Amino acid sequence: MRRRGSRRVAVIGAGLSRFVRRALETGKELSYYAASQALESAGVRRRDVEAVVMASAPDAFDGQHMKGEYLLDGAGGYRKPYFRVYVGGGSGVFSIISGWTLVASGMFDLVLVVAEEKMSPTQPHPQAAFITIFDHTIERPLGPNLLWIFALEQTRYMQTYGIRNEEIALVSVKNKRNALGHPASQVAEAVTVEQVLASEVVAWPVHRLMVSPVSDGAAAIVLASERVARRLSPRPVWVEGIGWSLDTSYWGNRDLAYPRYVEQAARMAYAMAGITDPRREIHVVEPYDPFAYKELHHLEGLLLADRGKAAEDLVRGRFDRDGELPSTPSGGLLGVGNPIAAAGLMKVCEIFWQLRGEAGPRQVPNNPRRGVAQAWGDLMQIGTVVVLGV
Amino acid sequence: MDNLVAIAGIGLTPLRPVSPDLSFRELVFEAATRAYADAGVDPRDVDGVVTVAEDLHEGTSITDEYTPDQLGAVLKPVQTVAGDGLQGLAAACLLIRSGAADVVVVEAHSKASNVLEHEEVLAIALDPLYERPWGLDPHAVAALEMRRYLHEAGVPERAVAEVVVANRRRALRNPFAAYGADLTVEQVLTDTMVADPLRAAMMSQTADGAVVLVLAAPETARALRGRPVMVRGIGWASDEPSLSGRPWAEATYAHLAAAMAYRDAGLRAPGGQVDLFEVDDTYAHKQLQHLEAALGLPPGGALREGAALAAADRVNASGGHLGMGYGYDASALMRVAVTALQVRGEAGPMQLPGVRTAVVLSWRGVPTTTGGAVVLSAA
């Protein structure tokens, strides 16, 4: 992908609903809550917004066909250009990418981006809805679910690099502890590696506390062109790079030990941001962590750790909030919760707050100036990456 | 910042009521092969891909999982727009206009014949708390709207039937159309009543097919083999989603989308400057509503000011959805493909003389209030 000159785009506001197991609010209401908060924090009104981007993962969760249409008034899209973008679990971080194109193109100056997910309507458990993501002929007859295939991927990752489950459990410990400082968190707790490994095995080697919960929630941000951002915001956070990449549908043919699509997405975003040495030039990172091993897997794909070495870095504290490269200071999906698309945009919100120095008890030290948020989705297939900077 | 985007390659499979011999991937592969050949582009040179799909039409959740291979787009920036074909086109144009990409592919397909009960799928697009408990057949929403439109616009049912007759007849000249037919107004007006006043013949019928367009920045397009058609302006908009709060006689979303596209294109008086209007006719009365939106007219205006255009075949020369077949959200992009062929002068038996500027106006169907508009013109 080549890049010609683009307009600069800034994030000027962010909002988040609480992440909960079963929200009494409808998806429209969750969207409204997050969108209102983002608008308020940016100091703008709905009527100032020129266009709205919505992200939400499968319609099967809500049992709502054309879910984007259903959510549109709650998200503020009434009588505006509004559309829903969709790359499975990667949707949350993709939503800011799509929003960036709206502003960078020169078509709009002020755009609202909303991500919503309501998984709780699926009874008895949303895992059942995931059967419908698999190939109808080759895979569905096997009755797979996501715990299954991610257990396969984790096994492959551990086997290839000789990683122990104790090291992977440490990701849960770190993220759930980080989430104790997050007001929206659903499953923050102080746990030990022993407790993680003592929790029920859901699909070996994955233990219950290595899996993010089922969640309802919404997140939103406000994007502005440079001209508008400088007028409205004392501290705009710039979108410096975007990248995404989708691998083949035939995931059974791929080596699951390494997420090459995440690397591809990261390289695209880093090139746009002018980053040549990501480990020195990135100060805080929010990699996607729906499962504990995924954070390590993604840090490697993001070129922020050597292949197979992220676990060692974790053990020596490199990814702690006060470590060399703070990773998932929000608490992530493992700690804050995982309303899929909203969880991805929550990571973008976290980087926004971290770079503005507004993350409160979660603030990482040394005034970070550049951060990366990443999400992942489909059949272990897509990476979405955004680089933000001040 | 160059606002123009070129359609550098067009690939469309003929629409068919059923396609038991082909999977959706094979349909898409066929359309993609045609589009790449038309543009003279190697898929390896594509910078980004936008696919248009809704999970419950596909019968697969997270349906974008299954998009890259048949487009030659593995490990490329691929995204889905769960929306209208023109919203997908807009997302693709934005990638180019933002400078992020030079060559972008937009794809949409319909395998409607796999959907056993389309009405049951549509019914769960209604609000689960306020609207679904009525047990409403979604076509009844269109019938309610048609009733209100006829009343406020002062349009007789006969005028709606005439839309059907004209479109089905024009489709006989369209090699991509599935439902060309020579009907009479009486046949339409005596066809099975679906929900008063909507009759079966006034509803478009579903069809299978795939469409792929190769878009490029204008300077890149000029270096390619194909004859580029310019996307001069694009717009999309949504109105009130709830049934209770929306206007019923006027397609407000379409007025907003058309106004946005015209503004983007710098088009002041569409009536005089546009040679062809291809507007959504999922239900026959929608063609009148949408033509009014495209021309900026109040309800009833299509029959007065729009009549001359329609008589000269300047409205839905393709035969519309009624004549071509309805492929859900792919429909709008299929209409863009045949309209771009008109602008290139390559539309075969349905070619109109002197099409330099054309407008396509779309709608996502019941129960939505979302649509798009695009202005195409010769390079």
| Strands A370-377, A284-286: pairing kind | parallel
The residue of chain B nearest to residue A136, with distances taken between CA atoms, is B60
Q: Please, what is the angle between helix B85-97 and helix A91-104, to 10°?
A: 60
Claim to verify: residue B72 and residue B86 sit in the same structural domain: yes
* pLDDT of B371: 98
Indicate whether B123 belongs to any domain.
Answer: no
Claim to verify: residue B222 and residue B245 sit in the same structural domain: no
Indicate whether B27 belongs to any domain.
Answer: yes
Structure tokens at B2: 């160059």
pLDDT for B84 beyond 50: yes
pLDDT for B1 beyond 50: no
Mean pLDDT over each residue of chain A, to the nearest integer: 96
Residues of A in contact with B26 (CB under 8 A): none
Work out the burial of residue A36: count CB atoms within 10 Å of its CB; fewer than 13 is exposed, 13-18 middle, 19 or more buried. middle
Rounded CA-CA distance A141/A135 in Å is 9
Å from B214 to nearest chain A CA?
Answer: 15
Summary count for chain B: helices (H), strands (E): 15, 11
Indicate whether B122 belongs to any domain.
Answer: no
Task: Kindly list the distances between the CA atom of residue A132 and the CA atoms of A143, A248, A379, in Å, as whole numbers in the listed order.
Answer: 10, 18, 12
Share of chain A above pLDDT 70, in %: 99
Is B236's CB within 8 Å of A83's CB?
yes
Size of interface A-B (CB pairs under 8 A): 210
Claim to verify: residue B190 and residue B270 sit in the same structural domain: yes
Task: Kindly list the distances between the CA atom of residue A193 and the CA atoms of A171, A198, A288, B121, in Å, as whole numbers in the listed order.
Answer: 9, 8, 20, 46
Claim to verify: residue B101 and residue B218 sit in the same structural domain: yes
| A245 Cβ under 8 Å from any chain B Cβ | yes
Residues of B in contact with A247 (CB under 8 A): 68, 74-75
At residue A305, what are phi and psi to the nearest 5 degrees? -150, 155
Structural element, H or E, at residue A153? helix A146-161
Indicate whether B101 belongs to any domain.
Answer: yes
Å from A318 to nearest chain B CA?
Answer: 30
Task: Kindly list the distances between the CA atom of residue B66 and the CA atoms of A66, A258, B62, in Å, as whole numbers in the listed order.
Answer: 19, 21, 9
Bridge partners (DSSP) listed for residue A14: A221
**Mean per-residue pLDDT for A259-271?**
98
The residue of chain A nearest to residue B72, with distances taken between CA atoms, is A248
Claim to verify: residue B262 and residue B276 sit in the same structural domain: yes
* pLDDT of A3: 54
Q: What 3-state class would DSSP assign to B197?
A: coil
Bridge partners (DSSP) listed for residue B68: none
The domain segmentation of chain A, as residue ranges, is: 9-123+213-389
pLDDT for A112 beyond 50: yes
Fold exhibited by the domain A9-123+213-389: Peroxisomal Thiolase; Chain A, domain 1 (3.40.47)
Mean pLDDT over each residue of chain B, to the nearest integer: 96
Residues of B in contact with A93 (CB under 8 A): none
- B66 within 8 A of A132, measured Cβ to Cβ: no
Domain extent, residue B321, equals: 128-203+232-378
Structure tokens at B271: 């009536």
Per the structure, how many domains does chain B have? 2
Is B82's CB within 8 Å of A244's CB?
no
For A354-378, the pLDDT digits (tens) are: 999 999 999 999 999 999 999 999 9
Write down the residue that tokens 């250009």 correspond to. Answer: A81
More confident residue, B3 or B9: B9
User: Per residue in A41-61, is it b (16+ CB within 10 Å) or e — as a string?
Assistant: bbebebebbbbbbbbbbbbbb
Claim to verify: residue B161 and residue B310 sit in the same structural domain: yes
pLDDT for B239 beyond 60: yes
User: Got the DSSP string for A280-348?
Assistant: HH--EEE---SBHHHHHHHHHHTTSS-TTTHHHHHHTTTTSTTSSS-B-TT-HHHHT---HHHHHHHHH
For B148-166, the pLDDT digits (tens) are: 999 999 999 999 999 999 9
Claim to verify: residue B222 and residue B241 sit in the same structural domain: no
Contact map slice: A 297-326 vs B, CB within 8 A: none
* pLDDT of B311: 86
Indicate whether B121 belongs to any domain.
Answer: no
Choose one of B195, B229, B263: the last residue of a domain.
Answer: B229
Claim to verify: residue B160 and residue B102 sit in the same structural domain: no
User: Per residue in A285-318, is it b (16+ CB within 10 Å) or e — as a string?
Assistant: bbbbbbbbbbbbbbbbbbbbbeebebbebbeeeb
Å from B2 to nearest chain A CA?
Answer: 9
* Residue A281, CA atoms < 13 Å, CB-side half-sphere: 16
Å from A383 to nearest chain B CA?
Answer: 9
Indicate whether B249 belongs to any domain.
Answer: yes
Is A81's CB within 8 Å of B235's CB?
yes
For B205-214, the pLDDT digits (tens) are: 999 999 999 9
Largest CA distance in chain B: 57
Claim to verify: residue B224 and residue B309 sit in the same structural domain: no
Å from A297 to nearest chain B CA?
Answer: 18
For B180-193, the pLDDT digits (tens) are: 999 999 999 999 99
* pLDDT of A4: 60
Claim to verify: residue B10 and residue B136 sit in the same structural domain: no
* pLDDT of A42: 98
Is B79's CB within 8 Å of A243's CB?
no
**Mean per-residue pLDDT for A325-336?**
98
